[in-house]
Structure 1
Amino acid sequence: MNETALERLAEACGIAREYHDIWGGHHPTSASTQRDLLAAMHFDLTRDAEELLAEFAAAQRTLPALPDEAMAQCCHLPAVLAEGGRLWGLSVQLYSLRSGRNWGIGDFTDLAALVELVAAAGGDFIGLNPLHALFPDDPTRISPYSPSHRAFLNVLYIDVEAVPEFAACEAVQSRIASAEFQAQLTALRAQPLVDYPGVARLKLEILRALFDFWRAHAGACLAGFAVWREAQGEALEHFARFETLQAHFRAQDPDCWGWPAWPEEYRDPASPAVAAFAENHAVEIDWHAWLQWLADSQLAAVAARARERGMAIGLYRDLAVGAHPGGAEVWQWQDVFAIGNGGAHTGAPPDDLNLLGQDWGLPPLIPHRLREASYAPFIEVLHANMRHAGALRIDHVMGLSRLFWVPADTPATEGAYVHYPFATLLGLVARASLDHACLVIGEDLGTVPEGFRERLFAAGVLSYHPLIFERYPDGNFRLPVDMPRQALVSASTHDLPTLAGFWQGVDLEIRTRLMLFPSSAVRERLITERGWDRGRLLWALERENLLPTGVSKDPAALPDLTPEVIAAIHAYLARSPAMLLSIQPEDVFACRDQINVPGTLEDQHPNWQRKLPQPLEEWPMLPGWYAVIDAVRAER
């Protein structure tokens, strides 16, 4: 192909010619990367580049613009925040909640109990990990940020015993009362990590029995289900068909996982083969739709209870940046995702936390194909995740403007940025936010385009400010008074070390063990800086007269963070003008281990599996809990 024509086509498709990393380094996009990304966008590069460019330009000229009413200028802001209020809440990984009644994984009833606890303490929201649908046919695939479909829910969060048919089904009652079943439940509850396959095996067995009972006895409930199902539209039907097809082919061949591995005639959702399959497997499709109905109903009940308890925000949900290439969302919208000729993945260039760059394994949406689809895939997941939510965190919100694309089977250092129609996507976010009265928080950590945060600020999107990154140019921690107003502040996040882990350098130990440092010199520099950071943190507390009595400013004299120091750190954050303060229970309970270590797999680090050390029922009796809550309430 003519390189000049290829470059023009790449630029027309949003592929940047170059980028500068956070250290100022210049990275031109290679011709090889341009070709790979264009191929991922479904271009046939065996054809003449000038013809491809001409066809592309002609197609784009004929696309109608979105009507003004489809977009808005500014996101929803709750009145209490508009009037100067400062709220606090808890951010939890739902799966991590222990309780005496759950089945080895936190569920929607645990979430309801947490609503009661936080509301009683004066909190106004509960932040959640993404609740997106994962893969019940393969429960080892557990990352909430690599879901099957972002518009649907993870059915393992259903509280089986809260299903209406549970109390009436004698067969289920007998099965659960058996010594064998009770022993399995006891074992699942006792494990320090969530046993996803074990949980899925028990829950899906009982849920299927309840579904069969419901079909035989539902009566008037069938009408309610039918109304709900119709309201979900074609998206639910596609999803339920995917689940049924996946289970069908896995039963025939355990290695046949993900729609690209299915027989070719089933890879197109609109194919005659899929339609015939759906007609012949209607009950199984009903089963998967019914599971979503249960999950949606239980989540809706928790959201309603949060409103009843007077929480100003209630549930604060999380939208992942993408979906797994083998899952239902990519199957449904495969023409709009970058999966052509090997595909490309969303990722990140090298930065301070990930010096080798990142490949997240998630195919990005293709900008021009998204426009051709009238932005339907984006709108679908926005509205699905703002339902039953008073706030939505958009993971890697820079994706509204640009995403770092990494060609498949290529080092992340060879990636390039691809630009998106920022004004349109931000306008769609604002429209959905107003429609659902849903506050928007943008996770804007990492490499951020110039002027990007200012655009989000003008649109009413809150920025994201973990304490670890709140620094002055000299490295000292930012004083509370200098923290931003239109923001959420927190001690840490799921992708960063916990407070205790940060203090003890556990994250540096993990990165050393897994050889995630590019050189020993970089490792030694970060270890030295961590020692300085411990002193900086104590000094920051002292400047605010928050350093607990008897605690030395010498970090060597404080080998572990005490509950009093942890409470002081949260008081420090609560003193800021930020609209929202989010508290992680992992920080409250001085957990050392990080929830997720980016760039690692589950066999390297138990990402998305750790349970909290204390059962939910015991939290009100724990001194550490009220030490933090009282400190925050004193400042807010």
Structure 2
Amino acid sequence: MGLARLAELHGVATTFSPAKGVTVAVPDATVVAVLAALDIDASTPEAVRAALDRAERAAASRLLPRTVVVWQGPDGERAGVPPVLTALPAGTTLRVTTEQGRELNWTTPRRTDARNAAAATADGTPQGTGPAPAHGAKGQDGARVWQQLPPGVHRLHVVAPDGRGTDAGLVVAPARVPGPDGRSHGFLVQLYSLLSARSWGMGDLGDLAELATWSGRSLGASFVQVNPLHAAVPGAPTDPSPYRPSSRRFPDPVHLRIEDVPEYAYADPADRRRLEELRDRAAKLRESVLDKDALIDRDAVWELKAQALEIIHRVPLGPGRRAAYRDFVAEAGQALEDHATWCALAEVYGSEWHDWPAALRDPRSPQTAEARAGLADRVDFHSRLVWLTDEQLAAAGRAAREAGMEVGIVHDLAVGVHPGGADAWAQQDSFAAGMSIGAPPDAFNAHGQDWGLPPWRPDALAASGYAPYRGLLRGILRNAGALRIDHVMGLFRLWWVPVGSPPTEGAYVRYDAEAMLAVLVLEAHRAGAVVIGEDLGTVEPGVREALSRRGVLGTSVLWFERDWTGDGRPLPPVKWREGCVATATTHDLPSTAARLTGGHVELRHRLGLLARPLEEERTEETADVTEWLGLLGHLGLLPEGVGDEEGAIRAVYRYLLRTPARMVGIWLPDAVGDRRPQNLPGTWDQYPNWRLPVSDAEGRPMSLEELAASPRLHRLLEVFAARTAPPDARPS
């Protein structure tokens, strides 16, 4: 009982529900390990009693929660005094220090006369509470002071008459994130898979700008959604997954278009010849990738680009460029210095910082400072690469806006970072040591999942005023028209698995979802960006509703949209939620062509991934597809007939347009009949995850130029020609 209570006080769940009506207890050993990762000793009954006593005394002494959230009204009107403050003891002094450094002070009133007490009782306000005249000459009352607070993350300090004091974060946020104007459509693509005649063996930011310009101007697309462009962990080979990065705070320079770096044109003659040689080698690499059955070789691409960037780095920056670079470095501050230092140290000691000399494992040690000084040129090189990549990300965003895109580039935020990478090294105090996040066992995966990513500590986030989270959001939103958040349920809780334990022996750890949402809404509002949450899979009750209240769009995939509370049949389009991005598939799922033909079942069978006999899987999949095709035909969306694969794909997207979804995402490989998934969960070296170029129905890789000229793609996009019409007025 004591362990359960201690876990509850620290947001650690001692049970979970893998299915409706089923409750499973978390092993005590797991609870003890999770608490240890939060610096709570629960290793013995005596330790539990001592920790519980400390926790309960601390909770009783706090006048406020660690973070107070204030939501502004829907039209941006000033916030009133939050209820948690009106409940403070009479005579409590309050001081707010705003983000901008301004201080505001006031005191809750001491109501001593009977008339005030009666009035307080009559209006429902507890006696001895509410705003009072502030200390000092201003004479403002608390309500007026409160209304002066700008949106932001502030600090609040309160002192009760008995001398108890409490510090708390104070987040003042708009009511909702910005929403898209009207209804829109756009492409979903893994950027590395989109090669043009100018890229160096994988898609780059020049290709992204080109795709945005073409699709916005010629096809009326409102957005392009890409995979995470976070910095990867260097290695041999590099992990190609964009969802296990070294850093989520900074982008990966492998995405640079080398020729678009301004200094490229000013290399001296000898260096220019060397750059041309590298460019020729890159052309051969690109041609090899565009051959049938070839794969994207990220390491080979980076080897060429790294050599080119070393040459370009020798070109002096002009006065204006140098000033811009210095401003960027100053604005990025300590975070960029840490990232560049990790990159420089990784070149010397390897990319797993846990294996570095002990003193260098601490980013704040004197030895690390000394090493940074000794590697100053390399630190500058890696800082410069971040700046150059940021410039090209900004250029892609401008290209999208200039092409008339209403939303623009949709960037993707991975759920976590590699434990050996730059963020985990630089922000060690914010991550839970010895823990990995994943998913509990459920009806789809009896073994659970371990993603190998360290979780943020909720207590450390709150103590810092959510500084790591805010910095992460601000960095990725600076060049985004919208942000997709992978596994958005992680804002509420995450499944922590002690390293070395199976994922079945994990526990949910809860975060302050109100604070996490408030910071997200605040930063998205400042950036003017739409927010999309990937809310597929097991979602606890209330999460989708909470996200919807704040304007965060969900993700709805056609094959999963069924009436799960009723007969289980496909959900009619009119019953889909409006606040979502409606899609036919994602990077982790079969393409629509593979789904319609059953090709994905055959693929999983060849790789030994089926949990049941092949015929059972085929029968179930055929029944599922047949039911959907029957509905599409019944709605008049399949004039080509069920035997026409290309027509059936168009019918699927006609169906998506019949829903009220605010955004409809077109999986770019669907437009040319690609049958291969970009990622096949449950595989590592059995399948070329994250290394496939976009290909046609025969498996022939297609360049961006070929895609733009594809008759099949244009036939699909004709379905979207009337995209501005309401759902029931759209032609079928």
- Map 1:603-614 to 2 at 5 A: 603-613=685-695, 614=702
Q: Deviations over 1:408-428 (max 9, x none)?
A: 122222222111111111111
Equivalence for 2:670: 587
User: Structure 2 residue aligned with 1:493, among 586, 589, 596?
Assistant: 586
Equivalence for 1:302: 396
Q: Partners of 2:369 and 2:314 in 1: how far apart?
A: 24
Equivalence for 1:253: none
Q: Partners of 1:98 and 1:564 in 2: how far apart?
A: 27
User: Structure 2 residue aligned with 1:520, among 592, 595, 612?
Assistant: 612
Distance change (3 Å), C-alpha of 1:509 and 1:112:
same
Equivalence for 1:615: 703
1:19 aligns with 2:111: no
- When structure 1 is superposed on structure 2, of 495-504 and 34-43 the one drifting more is 34-43
Letter in 2 for 1:88: H
Q: 2:32·2:43 contact (CA, 8 Å) conserved in 1?
A: no
- When structure 1 is superposed on structure 2, of 158-167 and 343-352 the one drifting more is 343-352
Equivalence for 2:252: 154
Q: Once the 2 structures are TM-superposed, how far is the Cα of residue 271 of structure 1 from its aligned partner?
A: 0.7
Give the superposed CA RMSD.
2.1
Equivalence for 1:392: 483
Equivalence for 2:560: 469
1:503 aligns with 2:596: yes
Q: 2:438·2:450 contact (CA, 8 Å) conserved in 1?
A: yes
Q: Partners of 1:506 and 1:42 in 2: how far apart?
A: 49
User: Structure 2 residue aligned with 1:112, among 200, 203, 209?
Assistant: 209
Bigger RCO (CA 8 Å, 6+ sep): 1
Distance change (3 Å), C-alpha of 1:486 and 1:46:
closer
Q: Once the 2 structures are TM-superposed, how far is the Cα of residue 477 of structure 1 from its aligned partner?
A: 2.2
Q: Partners of 2:180 and 2:612 in 1: how far apart?
A: 51
1:177 aligns with 2:302: no
Q: Once the 2 structures are TM-superposed, how far is the Cα of residue 188 of structure 1 from its aligned partner?
A: 3.8
Q: 2:184·2:723 contact (CA, 8 Å) conserved in 1?
A: no
Equivalence for 1:254: none
Equivalence for 2:185: 88
Q: Once the 2 structures are TM-superposed, how far is the Cα of residue 8 of structure 1 from its aligned partner?
A: 2.5
Q: 2:233·2:418 contact (CA, 8 Å) conserved in 1?
A: no
- Equivalent position SS for 1:199: helix
Letter in 2 for 1:628: L
1:347 aligns with 2:448: no
Q: 2:438·2:451 contact (CA, 8 Å) conserved in 1?
A: yes
Q: Once the 2 structures are TM-superposed, how far is the Cα of residue 576 of structure 1 from its aligned partner?
A: 1.3
Q: 2:591·2:675 contact (CA, 8 Å) conserved in 1?
A: yes
Distance change (3 Å), C-alpha of 1:171 and 1:352:
farther
User: Structure 1 residue aligned with 2:27, among 30, 35, 42?
Assistant: 30
Q: Once the 2 structures are TM-superposed, how far is the Cα of residue 56 of structure 1 from its aligned partner?
A: 4.7
Q: Partners of 1:23 and 1:596 in 2: how far apart?
A: 29
Q: Deviations over 1:311-340 (max 9, x none)?
A: 11101111111111001111111122121x
Equivalence for 2:323: 223
Q: Deviations over 1:381-435 (max 9, x none)?
A: 1111111111111111111111111221222222221111111111111111111
User: Structure 2 residue aligned with 1:201, among 303, 320, 338?
Assistant: 303
Equivalence for 2:499: 408
Distance change (3 Å), C-alpha of 1:422 and 1:529:
same
Q: 1:93·1:128 contact (CA, 8 Å) conserved in 2?
A: yes
- Map 1:316-327 to 2 at 5 A: 316-327=410-421
- Map 1:231-246 to 2 at 5 A: 231-246=331-346
User: Structure 1 residue aligned with 2:533, among 412, 431, 442?
Assistant: 442
Distance change (3 Å), C-alpha of 1:78 and 1:34:
closer
Letter in 2 for 1:453: R
Equivalence for 2:82: none
Q: 1:347·1:357 contact (CA, 8 Å) conserved in 2?
A: yes
Distance change (3 Å), C-alpha of 1:58 and 1:224:
farther
Q: Partners of 2:455 and 2:54 in 1: how far apart?
A: 23
1:375 aligns with 2:466: yes
- Equivalent position SS for 1:444: coil
Bigger Rg, structure 1 or 2: 2
Distance change (3 Å), C-alpha of 1:126 and 1:58:
farther
Q: Partners of 2:320 and 2:549 in 1: how far apart?
A: 49
Distance change (3 Å), C-alpha of 1:135 and 1:362:
same
Q: Once the 2 structures are TM-superposed, how far is the Cα of residue 479 of structure 1 from its aligned partner?
A: 2.1
- When structure 1 is superposed on structure 2, of 87-96 and 379-388 the one drifting more is 379-388
Q: Once the 2 structures are TM-superposed, how far is the Cα of residue 261 of structure 1 from its aligned partner?
A: 1.0
Q: 2:200·2:279 contact (CA, 8 Å) conserved in 1?
A: no
Q: Once the 2 structures are TM-superposed, how far is the Cα of residue 352 of structure 1 from its aligned partner?
A: 4.8
Q: 2:180·2:662 contact (CA, 8 Å) conserved in 1?
A: no
Q: 1:347·1:360 contact (CA, 8 Å) conserved in 2?
A: yes
Q: Partners of 2:348 and 2:68 in 1: how far apart?
A: 40
Equivalence for 1:632: 720
Q: Partners of 1:105 and 1:208 in 2: how far apart?
A: 20
Equivalence for 1:65: 67
Letter in 2 for 1:615: S
Q: Deviations over 1:246-268 (max 9, x none)?
A: 11113xxxxxx311111110111
Q: Deviations over 1:543-592 (max 9, x none)?
A: 2201133x24xxxxx4xx62222112111111211100001111112211
1:100 aligns with 2:100: no
Q: Partners of 1:599 and 1:370 in 2: how far apart?
A: 32
Q: 1:485·1:578 contact (CA, 8 Å) conserved in 2?
A: yes
Distance change (3 Å), C-alpha of 1:513 and 1:55:
farther
Equivalence for 1:555: none
TM-score by length of 2: 0.79
Equivalence for 1:51: 50
Equivalence for 1:248: 348
Q: Partners of 2:534 and 2:10 in 1: how far apart?
A: 25
Q: Partners of 1:24 and 1:597 in 2: how far apart?
A: 31
- Equivalent position SS for 1:144: coil
Letter in 2 for 1:77: P
- Equivalent position SS for 1:126: strand
Q: Once the 2 structures are TM-superposed, how far is the Cα of residue 470 of structure 1 from its aligned partner?
A: 1.1
Equivalence for 1:328: 422
Q: Partners of 1:11 and 1:509 in 2: how far apart?
A: 46
Q: Partners of 1:586 and 1:263 in 2: how far apart?
A: 46
Q: 1:489·1:582 contact (CA, 8 Å) conserved in 2?
A: yes
Q: 1:137·1:246 contact (CA, 8 Å) conserved in 2?
A: no
- Equivalent position SS for 1:539: helix
Distance change (3 Å), C-alpha of 1:541 and 1:384:
same
Q: Once the 2 structures are TM-superposed, how far is the Cα of residue 143 of structure 1 from its aligned partner?
A: 1.1
Matched positions, count: 606
Q: Deviations over 1:479-523 (max 9, x none)?
A: 222211111100101111111222233433444444445x536x7
Q: 1:98·1:189 contact (CA, 8 Å) conserved in 2?
A: no
Q: Partners of 2:347 and 2:55 in 1: how far apart?
A: 39
Q: Partners of 2:213 and 2:703 in 1: how far apart?
A: 15
Q: 1:137·1:247 contact (CA, 8 Å) conserved in 2?
A: no
The runs of 5 or more residues in structure 1 that have no matched partner are 251-256, 553-557
Q: Once the 2 structures are TM-superposed, how far is the Cα of residue 64 of structure 1 from its aligned partner?
A: 5.3
Distance change (3 Å), C-alpha of 1:513 and 1:354:
farther
TM-score by length of 1: 0.91
User: Structure 2 residue aligned with 1:165, among 252, 259, 263?
Assistant: 263
Letter in 2 for 1:488: V
- When structure 1 is superposed on structure 2, of 104-113 and 586-595 the one drifting more is 586-595
